Amino acid sequence: MISISLIDVKKPAFLKLRKLKSYLKDIIVSEGFHPGDLSLVLCTDEYLLKVNQDFLQHDYYTDIITFDYCKGVKIHGDLMISLDRVLENSAIQKTSFEEELFRVVFHGTLHLCGYKDKVKKDILLMRSKEAQYLNRHVSRETL
């Protein structure tokens, strides 16, 4: 089951939760896995900073933290996303807030599917997969 929570933030007007859930299911199935319990938490910078400090001992802002609880081919995990960071990153990357939010959500989902992003070749593959799913699911007219 895919659940989406909002913590101290308003749901962006463009975000249709039912569609987002179907996109995530499609990514998971397309990558050869089965959807399990997946929680998407949209929150503020301050909330995610506290999570980063408490659970990972990192003292910096980030756009996403992915907690992986996968078992075999069943995808289980938590994607925690700072909408503040996504908005700032969209300005830096010169993309829309919508595109950047979907990219980050898809990025976290791809991590749960086993993709890494620590070395150049893995980063290139991750970016390619993000673009593939953005092109499949996010209308180019609205971006």
Domain assignments of the chain as residue spans, ordered by start: 2-142
Q: Which CATH number applies to 2-142: 3.40.50.10490, 3.40.390.30, 3.30.930.10, 3.10.20.310?
A: 3.40.390.30
Q: What tens digit of pLDDT does each residue of 88-107 get?
A: 999 999 999 999 999 999 99
Taken as a whole, the chain contains a residue count of 143
d(Cα 10, Cα 124) in Å, to the nearest integer? 33
Mind listing the pLDDT tens digit of every residue in the chain (143 residues)?
889 999 999 999 999 999 999 999 999 999 999 999 999 999 999 999 999 999 999 999 999 999 999 999 999 999 999 999 999 999 999 999 999 999 999 999 999 999 999 999 999 999 999 999 999 998 654 44
Give the global pTM. 0.94
Which residue bears the tokens 């970016």? 127
d(Cα 52, Cα 131) in Å, to the nearest integer? 27
